[in-house]
Structure 1
């Protein structure tokens, strides 16, 4: 019974360690989203995916141990509380990163629209009566 309790403590401690690592990855992810470093971001996403899979496996392992007939020690309770706190922090950081990506997409869409407007204005010509008329851009592309 004591061995099983010790294993539970080790399992929860590992879970805390993994969630701490995830929190750091999410922080780095936000920096890469902001800097628009796509290659580094893709590498980080691969690392994040592997860590999430490990966290899921560890969570299943911890859950099985808790449901086994064992006493949860005060140390285990403290580790579980820390684990839950880290999980909430990771959820929050994920939401922040999602908003950053959405804002980045909105900025890119806005920039693309502005560029289209500028191109359209540059291609604007006037007919014989002085009325604005869209010209052509390059090889037969009209605005």
Structure 2
């Protein structure tokens, strides 16, 4: 039995709104850490994010069990459901933004790696007796 199952539906929905708000804040911090390339802090934040997601999932299950066969919700609970859905949409959007930021960072790293390889290749360029460019050796048996 989940720690949330004994609570009323309104209490569960309020907790879910709180958890989703916290996740939204964590996703904001995650983007800042991705942008600043602070890997250590990002790893710690990811642990916090994982814990939050597990709590959200457990509470979702408890809410689903409470709502089965409950029929029409009172206005207060309906408002909480709508607020939770809006927060969930915000979290999904922030997750997409963070994913794009990570992808852009990986593209920049790949581009930088390619530039460095080109510079190394140019540095190893030599010329033969006729003045034509010829790749020099890069270590044991590797030529440009």
| Equivalent in the alignment of 1:84 | 85
Output the aligned Cα RMSD.
1.5
| Equivalent in the alignment of 1:131 | 132
Q: How does 1:48-127 map to 2 (within 5 A)?
A: 48-69=49-70, 72-127=73-128
- How far off its partner does 1:12 sit? 0.1
What TM-score, normalized to structure 1?
0.91
What TM-score, normalized to structure 2?
0.90
1:47 aligns with 2:40: no
CA distance in 2 between partners of 1:12 and 1:64 (Å): 13
| Equivalent in the alignment of 1:8 | 9
- Moved >6 Å (runs of 4+): none
Structure 2, unpaired ranges of 5+: 1-6
Structure 1, unpaired ranges of 5+: 1-5
Question: How many residues are treated as equivalent by the alignment?
Answer: 138
CA distance in 2 between partners of 1:118 and 1:70 (Å): 68
Cα deviation, 1:33-89, whole Å, max 9, x if unaligned, reads 111111111111111111101000001111111114465221101111000000000
